[in-house]
């Protein structure tokens, strides 16, 4: 027997229950998040023990390469390249998964849960696609599966939704949940950079991957939206159910027009309950009014805005990514899981039920439309006619002529006008029908963009 009490050991007579139980942690992955967590567990053990009343002992760590430099003092003897050794080790009480991806993470976590080991995971891709199966397995085994870091990194959002707001009737949860795209849009807004310039800058600073598709096309945010739908609404939603558009179509002229009209453009994940009980779950760029709290979320920060019957409106803001902030969220879960294990309890179960997911066509909101047209008489009235025929009414319209008519080498050419409309609330299906017809008008050269207005 070791000197420390283990989680299974009852206090000896006379100890008065004051001995701190030791919980042994098996770590799957030691990259950005795993290394930051390992540094905390190995380097700050005494403070964590005093704060939490238990000892968290890092027992084993799985990585792909043992030879890789990791800058984590005390780690070397714990490493293995076989993650199955970690989940199967009887000396591991709790498993923390920060390796990412679906395979082999899914099988490893199912194995750990079935063996009665609580699991903490930061893996949004895994949870957004296989969360239902994993939570059901955890419930059947009577152990925790905690996942605070999977949405908005260091922002304690999941716990707020699951615990503080457990009885709240939530209407809508929407947020800036991808720091890379928020950084790009912020730079486009503050420095006038184009999308490509801002993306290149984000890549050079390490905010964006070399292949940025998962972030800029909204896949990462869609996974988080699915998890938010699970947690805030108990809805059986997976990443593939989420309507998704990214930011690669946002141009500098949209950012400028948005600012002039009193909006900021943000990539939003929105989960909202309809009056008929259906759930809208979507990710797309959105025009957010400047006085809305989400409009001021800058750079790589994340923020989630929650609206409920009794609580009204509240927003949580913080670092949505990065090793140390994410490790902080993982550590919070680990402390909870360890505590629950020591007292033979578990966190509240996450029960998911089927919901009708509202198609994007049924969305009703205001829209920003940006069109380039031939600068000739009658174009505006033709466009207004199409909008009117589909019951889409216009709240404001702006026109500028970036390319006036002129002559080159004796040849007359027609000018081009840029039209920007903001509509009153309308159905998406009507607006899309308008765009289809407007596109057929001979004088319309290009439909540059459609951006939904949210939070007005
Ligand atoms: N980074 C963030 O800011 C952040 C924020 C929120 C959530 N998350 C989530 O946290 C998880 C980890 O992210 P990360 O940025 O820390 O990833 P990362 O830097 O790529 O680290 C992944 C780690 O897992 C190890 N690994 C991967 N596959 C393995 C396998 N088959 N067997 C053994 N080890 C394996 C890697 O080993 P090697 O080191 O030897 O390559 C590495 O140590 C992901 O699910 C991510 O979505 C990350």
Q: What is the pLDDT of residues 12-37, one digit of tens each?
A: 444 445 588 999 999 999 999 999 99
Residue 16 structure tokens: 């008065």
Instruction: Write the pLDDT tens digit of every residue in 79-108.
Output: 999 999 999 999 999 999 999 999 999 999
**Domain 166-319, what fold?**
Dihydrodipicolinate Reductase; domain 2 (3.30.360)
Q: What is the DSSP letter of 438?
A: H
Residue percentage of the chain with pLDDT more than 90:
89
Residue 366 · residue 387 · CB < 8 Å: no
Band (pLDDT 50/70/90 cuts) for residue 304 is very high
Band (pLDDT 50/70/90 cuts) for residue 7 is low
pTM of the model: 0.94
Q: Does domain 22-153+324-342 have CATH number 3.40.50.720?
A: yes
Based on its alpha-carbon atoms, the radius of gyration of the chain, rounded to whole angstroms, reads 26
Residue 119 structure tokens: 């699991």
Cβ(451) – ligand 1 distance below 6 Å: no
Instruction: Average the pLDDT over 123-149 and give the result.
Output: 97
Q: What is the DSSP letter of 101?
A: S
Atom 27 of ligand 1: nearest residue by CA position: 99
- CA 315, CA 303: separation in Å to the nearest integer? 7
Residue 9 · residue 21 · CB < 8 Å: yes
Q: Among candidates 159, 160, 162, 108, which has minimal Cα distance to 137?
A: 108
What pLDDT, on the 0 to 100 scale, is given for residue 400? Answer: 87
Among 107-116, 135-144, 204-213, 410-419, whose mean pLDDT is lowest?
A: 410-419
Count of beta carbons in the 10 Å neighbourhood of residue 171: 17
Mutation choice for ligand 1 from 100, 214, 227, 300, CB with most ligand atoms inside 8 A: 100
Average pLDDT of every residue of the chain: 94
Instruction: Write the pLDDT tens digit of every residue in 255-281.
Output: 999 999 999 999 999 999 999 999 999
Instruction: Write the pLDDT tens digit of every residue in 209-259.
Output: 999 999 999 999 999 999 999 999 999 999 999 999 999 999 999 999 999
Residue 422 structure tokens: 């903001």
Cβ(62) – ligand 1 distance below 6 Å: yes
- CA 129, CA 215: separation in Å to the nearest integer? 17
Q: What residue spans define the domains of the chain?
A: 22-153+324-342, 166-319, 360-453
Residue 286 structure tokens: 């959105």
Instruction: Write the pLDDT tens digit of every residue in 33-80.
Output: 999 999 999 999 999 999 999 999 999 999 999 999 999 999 999 999
Helix H or strand E encompassing 140: helix 124-141
Tell me which residues are annotated as active site: 224
SS3 204: helix
Cβ(47) – ligand 1 distance below 6 Å: no
Residue percentage of the chain with pLDDT more than 70:
96
CATH architecture of 360-453: 2-Layer Sandwich (3.30)
């Amino acid at each position: 027997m070791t000197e420390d009490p283990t989680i299974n050991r009852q206090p000896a007579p006379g100890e008065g229950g004051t001995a701190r139980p030791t919980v042994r942690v098996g770590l799957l992955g030691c990259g950005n998040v795993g290394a930051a967590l390992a540094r905390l567990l190995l380097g700050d053990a005494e403070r964590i023990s005093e704060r939490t009343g238990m000892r968290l002992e890092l027992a084993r760590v799985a990585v792909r390469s043992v030879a890789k430099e990791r800058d984590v003092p005390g780690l070397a003897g714990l490493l293995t390249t076989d993650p199955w050794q970690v989940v199967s080790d009887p000396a591991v009480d709790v498993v923390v998964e920060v390796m990412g991806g679906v395979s082999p993470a899914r099988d490893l976590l199912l194995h750990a849960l079935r063996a009665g080991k609580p699991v903490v995971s930061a893996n949004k891709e895994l949870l957004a696609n296989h969360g239902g199966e994993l939570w059901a397995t955890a419930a059947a085994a009577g152990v925790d599966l905690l996942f605070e870091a999977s949405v908005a990194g260091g922002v304690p959002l999941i716990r707020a939704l699951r615990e503080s707001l457990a009885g709240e009737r939530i209407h809508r949860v929407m947020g800036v949940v991808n720091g890379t795209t928020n950084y790009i849009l912020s730079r486009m807004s503050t420095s006038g950079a184009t999308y490509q310039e801002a993306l290149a800058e984000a890549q050079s600073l390490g905010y964006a991957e070399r292949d940025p598709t998962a972030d800029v096309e909204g896949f990462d945010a869609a996974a988080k939206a699915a998890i938010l739908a699970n947690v805030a609404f108990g809805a059986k939603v997976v990443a593939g159910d989420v309507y998704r558009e990214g930011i690669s179509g946002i141009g500098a002229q949209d950012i400028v027009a948005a600012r002039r009209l009193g909006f900021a453009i943000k990539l939003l994940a929105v989960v909202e309950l309809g009056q008929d009980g259906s759930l809208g779950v979507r990710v797309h760029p959105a025009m957010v009014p400047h006085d809305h709290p989400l409009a001021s979320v800058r750079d790589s920060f994340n923020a989630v805005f929650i609206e409920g019957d009794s609580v009204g409106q509240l927003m949580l803001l913080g670092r949505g990514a990065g090793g140390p902030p994410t490790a902080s969220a993982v550590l919070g879960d680990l402390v909870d899981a360890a505590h629950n294990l020591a007292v033979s309890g578990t966190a509240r179960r996450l029960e998911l039920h089927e919901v009708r997911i509202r198609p994007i066509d049924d969305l009703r909101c205001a829209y920003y439309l940006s069109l380039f047209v031939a600068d000739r008489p009658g174009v505006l009235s033709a466009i207004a006619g199409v909008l009117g025929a589909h019951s889409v009414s216009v709240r404001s319209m702006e026109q500028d002529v970036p390319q006036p008519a002129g002559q080159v080498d004796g040849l007359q050419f027609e000018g081009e006008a840029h039209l920007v409309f903001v509509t009153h609330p309308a159905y998406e299906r009507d607006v899309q029908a308008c765009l289809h017809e407007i596109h057929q008008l001979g004088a319309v050269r290009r439909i540059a963009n459609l951006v939904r207005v949210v939070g007005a």
